[in-house]
Every structure is written in structure tokens, then in C-alpha cells.
Structure 1
Amino acid sequence: MAQSNQTVGKYVLSIAFVSSLVFTPVLSGKVFANAGAGASEGDITISESNLSNIQEQEVASSSEGTLIQHGDVGAVVEDIQKELQEQGYYTYTIDGIFGSITGQAVRDYQADHHLQVDGIVGPNTLETMALPEMESSEDNLTITEIDSSENNLTVTESSSGDVSNIKSDIVAVAKSVIGTPYVWGGTTTEGMDSSGFINYVFNQVGIDDISRTHREMWENDGNYVDHPSIGDVVFFEGTYDTEGASHSGVYIGNNQMIHAGDDGVSVADISIDYWQNHYLGAKSFTE
């Protein structure tokens, strides 16, 4: 999927996102209620949301050195994933996210090399991998406003220059428009509908070939994933009287999404029965 050039600007947001939790949708007994195009069921306040966890997180350290473990993100984790991949232990995407798949690869590596099998990459594991001990670092996300009169917000690559950080950019943009009013057919910060919100977010991170409707996105765009990761799009059907996918939101982890509902762009808890009963699946627009 083509990505346009991204622009360096004046805001700096430090974003590091948590590893995805397994989301097991309840797909039986779907209820095709006429809930409206921008259904807001399950909306929660910012203080109740997972957004406070999607902030800069320092890599834990001990008197023995730096520990890289579940929940850490960034270039350090990517280096570990690449080394594990080269040795045949890691076969997933190099994404810089220390999740359950990376943790299992580390444990397998530790078992084969007679190390303590704890899934934590400390000095001994780093040394065996021939990787240097690493300091915790900041992955800065830079956002710029080009023209406030046009509400044009663009996102640049993180300071590490690694495209894998685009998922944190997606969350940053989605978060930046929370509170935007719901307007049928809208695609700007003046007002947006549910699919217009998805289009806006991905346009700002340079992914500008997203279809306009949920149904077309589900059928034509990105790649299907078994479980959503942070920055993926979760889809729902039957939220109003239309065939196919009828609603979607940006997944931010912990069974939560940012979406454009009846009350505008907000955070919703998708573990409640309403969203579970309408859940269709998830797609990644960055792979």
C-alpha cells in the first residue's frame, strides 16, 4: 500500500504502544439491530480508556543491566526480532512490538542456549545473541499543522525513521480528533462520519488509497488478520440496515477502539455485547 511523503512539523508526541491483547469475538447469535450509522454503544471516557497506557514507556532496567520484555516497543525490540528471525526462532512481522509471539521466540531461543527460560531479554541473552546491551530510548512522533484554516494535520515518520512505527502514528492521529462531531458524509475535523474518520486518520499518515465505505474497505483494502493489533481497523456488520460491513474503528488495545459514533469521535469498549454481537473481523492497512 503506497504511502505519501510525511512532513516534519511542530508538535512532538512521544508514543509507544502496548502489545496487542487477544480479542476473541463472540460471533454467534448476531443481532442486526437498527442502531444508526454512527452507533455509540460502549463509549467510555478518556480516563476509563486505554489511551493513558499508549504513551512513552521506558524500557525497564535493573542493577544487572537493561531488560527488554513483554510490552516494550521500539528499535531495540526490532533488533531482537531480526536476530531471532535470522536464527529461525521468529517468523512473524518485524514490528518492534514485544508481544506474545516475540516472547515465545525468546523462550525457545533461551531453552536451546541453556539460558534461564523467562522470555525476558537481559544481559545474558543479549550477549548470547551477540547484541550490545541497549539503553532505553525515546521514539518521538512529530506532528505538524500545515494550515490551521484547513485543519490539515500531517504526521511524519518517528525519529527512528522506521516505518513500523506508523501504527503508533495512526493511534496518535485518531486520538488527536477525539471530540470531533459526527457529520454524515464528513471527512474533516469540522465533522466526520464513521468511515470518513477512518479515511481521515489513514490519509494523515500517508495511506491515501483507503476506500470510502466500510463495506469497500472490508472487501478491498489491506490484509485480514486473525486478531487486531494496535493501529489495525476493527469492523462490524448490522449496526444499521445495510449489507456487509457497516462500521469500523481504530483498535488501540485492551478491547478498545477509537471511532466516530453518534456523539462524535470517541473511545469505545468493544468487549460489550453490542459490539461483540456485531463484530465482523479486523484488517491491517499497514502491511
Structure 2
Amino acid sequence: MAKSSQSMRKYVVSSALITSLALTPVLAENVSAKADPGSSESSSSSEPSQILHSGDRGSEVESVQDELKTQGYYTANIDGIYGPITEDAVESFQSEEGLAVDGIVGPETKSALSTLSENSIEEDQEADIEEPSKDESTSQSDVVSIAEDLIGTPYVWGGTTPEGMDSSGFILHVFEQVGVDLHRKESDMWLNDGVQVDSPEVGDVVFFEGTYNTEGASHSGIYIGDNQMIHSGSNGVEVADMSIDYWQDHYLGVKSFQ
């Protein structure tokens, strides 16, 4: 009977040991899962790394290469591979911007790149806004070109065509060709058309007074630079030197019709 009781106790202990060993892997696995939130499954859904360095690949590297290329630091193909060329470009950028030169794209380097990219976009937008000034320059050039083509046209009182024109008729005809409507008489042009400016630029109209017995502006010409103008005088359409005493004595001012 004593042996049977001893045998029974061994069986119970053995059974408990086996059960414990069988459950240990499951418990260990659960404890391990709770204690390691940075396991491979968790990291796969985490946010992209904030630091890029040599050996990295992917869309984040492409973005950095693109920004560096926009700023002129990276000249190779944008391939998403953070190799020696990309690293050199990063170091050049960091040196230029007064950052720590380590070839690593951390938060500070990323921020500096983003700031430069935003500034480049703003500059492009401003350039687009200022684009009409190119059209204005073209229009001024057209005004001078049309005026030059009329040199030699005879003076005709009241004329407004290439067959013959007076001083205001010459101005009226030239600006009609570029889509600008003006009053017929110089006195009305001076009072009502365009914008008065301090000094003439190429394509502006210079006005004179007292050239004959009339009130206000009585003569005009198109300024072509170097104190020269094209006007329709008694000898027809010609180039005149505004620096001579006659024109200086009768000078009234200048207006822009652009």
C-alpha cells in the first residue's frame, strides 16, 4: 500500500510538470508580445524615418534628391538611392546653409530644404505675376519700330495716315497700331491720356508748348533714347535732337501711354 501511494504522488507531480512545460511557450510568447511593441509587425505600420543617410532607398530619398536638384546641389538622376553622390550633395547644401556637415538628412536639414523650396515657389509665382512687364517692353519696342518706319512721311496739316500727317496725327497713328486710343489734339492728349512721368523712357511721348500760338501742349514726339525723338515737323517725320535749345525752351513734360 505504501508503494502505491508513492507512485500516485509521482504521477501527480509528473502530470503537473508536463502541464507547466506545455503552457510555458504560450505564456512566454504573450509576455514577449506585450513587452516588445517595436516588433517587426509594429514597425511596419510606424511613420517613415525622420533621418535619411547613406544606404537608404525610397520615395523619401527621391524627394530629397529632387529638392537638392532644384537648388543646384544634385545633378544626377533622381533614383531614390542614397549613395555617395547624394551624400556629397547633402554635405554641400549643409555647408552652404551653415548646418552641421555630416551628410545625413535630419530634421534641421529637411527644414532648411523645405524653406528653400517654398521660397523658390514664391519667386516663380512673383515672376509669373510680373510677366506682363515683358509685354509692356514689347509694346514700347513696337511703338518705336512703327515710328521709325514712318520716317520720311511728308507733313500734312490734319493728316493722320502714312500719306501725310501732322505732329499729333503722327502720335495718334502710331499708337493706334498698338491698340491705344488717344485724343486727336496734343493739348487733349496732355490733359487726358496716359500717365505723366518724371523722365522719358523709350516709347514714351514728350510734349512741348508754345511752338505756335495755342494754349497748352502744341507739339509732341516719340522718345527713342539718348535725347532723341521721332516727330512730324515741317520737314515731315524725322529724328530730332531734344538737347538743342529750341526743344529745351519749349519742353513741357512726358507721358506714358503704355
TM-score (norm 1): 0.43
Larger Rg: 2
Structure number with higher relative contact order (C-alpha < 8 Å, ≥ 6 residues apart): 1
Give the helix-richer structure, 1 or 2. 2
TM-score (norm 2): 0.48
Give the strand-richer structure, 1 or 2. 1
